[in-house]
């Protein structure tokens, strides 16, 4: 490993400490997938697991050790020779590997967990760090519950561990008890009082029980630590660990105050987050820093206006820098006209008049009070509705009668007004909706792709009003139709017809020659009695 003064090594423990989070168990295949992503991400050391814990853990550590190209695989062991042997056996196929061994050093843990005296802990360090060193020159030692350990005793144990061959000394805030000012003092004291500390890299491993894991980790780095132990999405026991993506991006973004560097390819952070989330089944909270769904989303009108003028007004890093495609101006009830107009431009409506925008914006505000999420298709539908006058409709539903149930094919009888002419048709289909849509296609021949058919109940009960959404596509153009009725099939027919009318009017506005030709062909078919 490099000895660059300002290089911070990233030690990931997602597959070890992260997996100890209740319900976060990962399969062998999932760990393989995660390890490949982590290797590509540029993580320096990957703590793959606890080999002695189970045959599955051993198997995963052994397999991953063979496939890593850049990252150093690491196995965890307690102070027992069996644990250390298991680490070696699982890791030995790797060209480089690390054995990470630990023992508790706080008075509370020594008395109630270990039932050992400080002198016995000292002897254990001497025996087991020396034993681990026989298998590799890359040994890491941790003083569990370090932040509740007597500082003079900690200095003594660390000096001994280094003398026995440990190249990395890790200070865990095992229960997330420390605060930044205290943690800084611990790191500074160790650097000043341990005589051989220059022969090892000082590491920090902070838990998030008080929500301070990242703050403590960064304070530790600023004080002189050069390795951070962390997890993707901050998963881990209880409230979790320091979040890898937050650590890395804090260093990158505030390099003026923290002049350090990591080897992480930050553009893969979002990918890593998704892979871990999918493997564990733990969703990433929407407001999670760096990788949350809302991390680069803006809804407030003032913020959106600022973002449109200059993205630096409300973003301290670019979404692209962490692998997110782009900033999202989320349209909601707090959005203003400026953001709404900008959204329309991005959706291809750059030439709509201010009158149309005003009408559509009014409808948008009403909808935003009713819906939690406003999607682009919702906005497209609002604008299309504002563009289209009822008298412009080519097709109008006059009547619909549907026969459904068992025993007989589902059938629809329909009457439409098409270009002012009353037309009737009967069709059977694979269900009443299919039969209904076939009638429409027969009475007004067309060729579009049905991309979406969705039914929502507006109210409760068997007499609930249903809102149906239909999205159709033709030559790269899409339109959305919506309709509501207590009869779902009537709503379905009207929604489809609504979308079709919008498509016809789009043809008229964007391709008048094509529209005229289609109308001419329809008239010719009408003359022939088709």
* pLDDT 10s digits, 128-179: 999 999 999 999 999 999 999 999 999 999 999 999 999 999 999 999 999 9
The number of residues making up the chain comes to 530
pLDDT band of residue 284 (cuts 50, 70, 90) is: confident
For the segment 230-253, the average pLDDT, to the nearest whole number, is 95
Helix (H) or strand (E) holding 381: helix 376-387
**Domain ranges for the chain:** 9-280, 297-387, 390-527
For the segment 384-405, the average pLDDT, to the nearest whole number, is 77
Per-residue confidence (pLDDT) for residue 311, from 0 to 100: 56
Going across the sheet that includes 477-485, the strands are: 449-457, 466-474, 477-485
Per-residue confidence (pLDDT) for residue 372, from 0 to 100: 59
Per-residue confidence (pLDDT) for residue 350, from 0 to 100: 61
Q: Is-contact 311 297, C-beta < 8 A?
A: no
Q: Is-contact 478 451, C-beta < 8 A?
A: yes
Q: Which CATH class is domain 9-280?
A: alpha beta
pLDDT at 243 over 60: yes
Q: Is-contact 209 238, C-beta < 8 A?
A: yes
- Range with the lowest mean pLDDT among 2-16, 117-131, 422-436? 2-16
pLDDT at 195 over 60: yes
pLDDT at 457 over 70: no
Per-residue confidence (pLDDT) for residue 362, from 0 to 100: 75
Look-up: residue for tokens 């979406």?
452
DSSP letter for each residue of 57-75: HHHHHHHHHHH-SSSEEEE
The residue among 244 and 459 whose pLDDT is bigger is 244
Q: Is 182 helix (H, G, I), strand (E, B) or coil?
A: helix
pLDDT at 101 over 90: yes
Task: Compute CA 196 distance to the chain's CA centroid, rounded to the nearest angstrom.
Answer: 43
First to last CA, the chain: 80
d(CA 344, CA 165): 64
Which tokens hold the place of 166? 């440990």
pLDDT at 348 over 80: no
Look-up: residue for tokens 């051993």?
58
Per-residue confidence (pLDDT) for residue 310, from 0 to 100: 62
- Range with the lowest mean pLDDT among 5-14, 298-307, 466-475, 503-512? 298-307
Supply the pTM of this predicted model.
0.66
Per-residue confidence (pLDDT) for residue 299, from 0 to 100: 42
Going across the sheet that includes 421-429, the strands are: 395-403, 410-418, 421-429
The residue among 525 and 97 whose pLDDT is bigger is 97
The residue among 458 and 316 whose pLDDT is bigger is 316
Which tokens hold the place of 78? 């307690």
Beta carbons within 10 angstroms of residue 55's beta carbon = 8
pLDDT at 264 over 90: yes
Superfamily assignment of 390-527 in CATH?
A: Alpha-isopropylmalate synthase LeuA, regulatory domain (3.30.160.270)
């Amino acid at each position: 490993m490099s000895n660059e003064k300002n290089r911070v090594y990233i030690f990931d423990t997602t597959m070890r400490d992260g997996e100890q989070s209740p319900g976060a168990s990962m399969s062998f295949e999932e760990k393989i997938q995660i390890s490949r992503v982590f290797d590509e991400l540029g993580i320096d050391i990957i703590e793959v697991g606890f080999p002695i814990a189970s045959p599955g853990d051993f198997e995963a550590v052994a397999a991953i050790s063979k496939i890593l190209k850049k990252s150093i695989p690491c196995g965890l062991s307690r102070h027992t020779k069996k644990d250390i042997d298991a680490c070696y056996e699982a890791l030995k196929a790797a060209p480089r590997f690390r054995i990470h061994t630990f023992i508790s050093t706080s008075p509370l843990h020594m008395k109630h967990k270990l039932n050992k005296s400080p002198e016995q802990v000292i002897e254990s360090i001497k025996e087991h760090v020396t034993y681990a060193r026989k298998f590799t020159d890359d040994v890491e030692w941790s003083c569990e519950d370090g932040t509740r350990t007597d500082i003079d005793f900690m200095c003594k144990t660390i000096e001994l561990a280094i003398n026995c061959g440990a190249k990395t000394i890790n200070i865990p805030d095992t229960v997330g008890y420390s605060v930044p000012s205290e943690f800084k003092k611990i790191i500074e004291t160790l650097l000043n009082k341990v005589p051989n500390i220059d022969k090892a890299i000082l590491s920090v491993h902070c838990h998030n029980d008080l929500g301070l894991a990242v703050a403590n980790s960064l304070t530790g780095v600023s004080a002189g630590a050069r390795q951070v132990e962390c997890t993707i999405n901050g998963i881990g026991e209880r409230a979790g660990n320091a979040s890898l993506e937050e650590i890395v991006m804090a260093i990158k973004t505030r390099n003026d105050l923290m002049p350090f560097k990591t080897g992480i390819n930050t553009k893969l952070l979002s990918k890593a987050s998704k892979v871990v989330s999918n493997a564990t089944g733990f969703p990433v909270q929407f407001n999670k820093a760096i990788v949350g769904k809302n991390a680069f989303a803006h809804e407030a009108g003032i913020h959106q206006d600022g973002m449109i003028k200059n993205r630096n007004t409300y973003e301290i890093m670019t979404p692209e820098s962490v692998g997110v495609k782009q900033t999202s101006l989320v349209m909601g009830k707090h959005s203003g006209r400026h953001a709404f107009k900008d959204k329309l431009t991005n959706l291809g409506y750059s030439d709509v008049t201010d009158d149309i925008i005003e009408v559509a914006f009014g409808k948008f505000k009403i909808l935003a009070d009713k819906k939690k999420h406003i999607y682009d298709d919702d906005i497209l539908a609002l604008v299309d509705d504002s563009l289209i006058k009822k008298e412009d409709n080519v097709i109008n539903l006059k009547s619909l009668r549907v026969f459904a149930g068992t025993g007989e094919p589902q059938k629809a009888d329909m009457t439409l007004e098409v270009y002012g002419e009353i037309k009737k048709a009967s069709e059977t289909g694979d269900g009443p909706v299919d039969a209904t849509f076939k009638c429409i296609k027969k009475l007004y021949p067309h060729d579009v792709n049905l991309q979406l058919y969705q039914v929502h109940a507006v109210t409760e009960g068997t007499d609930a009003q249903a809102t149906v959404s239909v999205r159709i596509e033709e030559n790269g153009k899409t339109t959305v139709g919506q309709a509501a009725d207590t009869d779902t099939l009537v709503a379905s027919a009207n929604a489809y017809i609504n979308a079709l009318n919008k498509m016809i009017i789009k043809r008229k506005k964007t391709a008048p020659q094509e529209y005229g030709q289609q109308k001419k062909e329809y008239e010719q078919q009408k003359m022939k009695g088709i």
